[in-house]
Amino acid sequence: MLNLQTITPLWGETPRVDRFNGLTITEVPNQALASLALRKGREDEGRKAAEAMLGFALPEVGRHAAEGLYAASWFAQDQWLISAETSEHELMSYQLVDAVAGLASVTEQTDGWCRFDLEGMCRGVFERLSGVNLAAMEAGSATRALLEHLSCMVICFETASHYSVLGPRSYARSLHHALVTAARSAL
């Protein structure tokens, strides 16, 4: 039986929640992540094999899709970030490796990222952190963006009111600081 404890990117036993006037920022550490990259000349085969496991089509450029256990965000050309809840699916990336059976390249990315979900009045926070054009981001879009010098991914679940911000895990404290400082200023 595995007898090692995990720790969140913000060094907690449990995820951190920050509440502001009309906005909540929640640390989300319980996502198993994998990078899925199609192989040259075998793109269709790799895609099919992955989609068979996921149960939905891999999303187009700048989009995010989710259904059942899994979610996928477009990450780069022929590349996606796949996620699932760790509580049940910590080894998701290895299942994906098996599912694609060499037709695509899979890399575990679970601890490559930290994630903060923003729910409520989000606009002011992003206005203070990033050049992302929020008005142009509809629900189901995923975009790479620079937030306070950090290369992040922003996923929109609901325009103006529900977003995920993923940043490099080692920068978690800096990213969190930037988010809460912006929230405190905006609200």
Contact positions toward other proteins, by CB under 8 A? 1-8, 11, 29, 35, 37, 39-42, 79, 91, 94, 102, 105, 107-113, 126-136, 148-150, 168-175, 177-178, 181-182, 184-185
Closer residue to other proteins (CB): 7 or 60: 7
Q: How far apart are CA 58 and CA 55, in angstroms?
A: 9
Q: How far is the CA of 89 from the CAs of 63, 82, 92, 129, 132, in angstroms?
A: 23, 12, 5, 33, 32
**Quick one: tokens of 46?**
């790799």
The minimum distance between CB 11 and other proteins, in angstroms, equals 5
The minimum distance between CB 132 and other proteins, in angstroms, equals 8
Longest dimension (CA), the chain: 52
The minimum distance between CB 56 and other proteins, in angstroms, equals 22
The minimum distance between CB 125 and other proteins, in angstroms, equals 11
Closer residue to other proteins (CB): 19 or 173: 173
Closer residue to other proteins (CB): 3 or 68: 3
Write out the E strands in 86-178. Answer: 104-108, 113-120, 141-147, 150-158, 162-168
Closer residue to other proteins (CB): 13 or 60: 13
What is the distance, to the nearest Å, from the Cα of residue 3 to the centroid of all Cα atoms in its chain?
27
Closer residue to other proteins (CB): 4 or 68: 4
CB 110 within 8 A of CB 33: yes
**Quick one: tokens of 129?**
């952190």
The minimum distance between CB 107 and other proteins, in angstroms, equals 5
